[in-house]
Amino acid sequence: GAVVSQHPSWVICKSGTSVKIECRSLDFQATTMFWYRQFPKQSLMLMATSNEGSKATYEQGVEKDKFLINHASLTLSTLTVTSAHPEDSSFYICSASRGGVPNQPQHFGDGTRLSIL
């Protein structure tokens, strides 16, 4: 089955630090990747849609200068949380869809637990 790898799985850092999270599709090309944020005992909130070779599309209320997304290749998207603060602590999950194949489900990474001290 399709595999999406997300790294790191856990990050603890000081306030003001920038943190980069990687999302890789290991066995398929992903023209579109999605970034979600999940709060404890809550559903997934879509932050942005990342398209290879173009700017990400951010959902309303998500600061694009705070959450930088880069999708430079068909297998890699990165999310950088800039100048992170404790309120940015959360579980971040990426997903990817196969390019060029209709009706495929999104495949999810295992998430990154971000804790800002």
Q: Which of 28, 34, 58, 67 binds another protein (CB under 8 A)?
A: 34
The distance of closest approach from Cβ of residue 86 to another protein in the complex, given in angstroms and rounded to an integer, is: 20
Q: What is the 3-state secondary structure (H, E, C) of the chain?
A: CCCEEEECCEEEECCCCCEEEEEEECCCCCCEEEEEEECCCCCEEEEEEEECCCCCEECCCCCCCCEEEEEEECCEEEEEECCCCHHHCEEEEEEEECCCCCCCCCEECCCEEEEEC
Q: Which of 4, 21, 81, 116 binds another protein (CB under 8 A)?
A: 4
CA-wise closest residue to 4 among 37, 30, 38 = 30
Total binding residues toward another protein, as defined by CB under 8 A? 26
The distance of closest approach from Cβ of residue 57 to another protein in the complex, given in angstroms and rounded to an integer, is: 9
Looking at the Cβ atoms of 1 and 86, the one nearer to another protein is 1
Residues between 60 and 89 with contacts to another protein, criterion CB under 8 A: none
Q: Rounded to whole angstroms, how far apart are CA atoms 78 and 53?
A: 13
Task: Note whether 32 binds another protein by CB under 8 A.
Answer: yes
Task: Note whether 104 binds another protein by CB under 8 A.
Answer: yes
* Residues near another protein, by CB under 8 A: 4, 6, 31-32, 34, 42-44, 46, 49, 91, 93, 95, 97-98, 102-111, 113
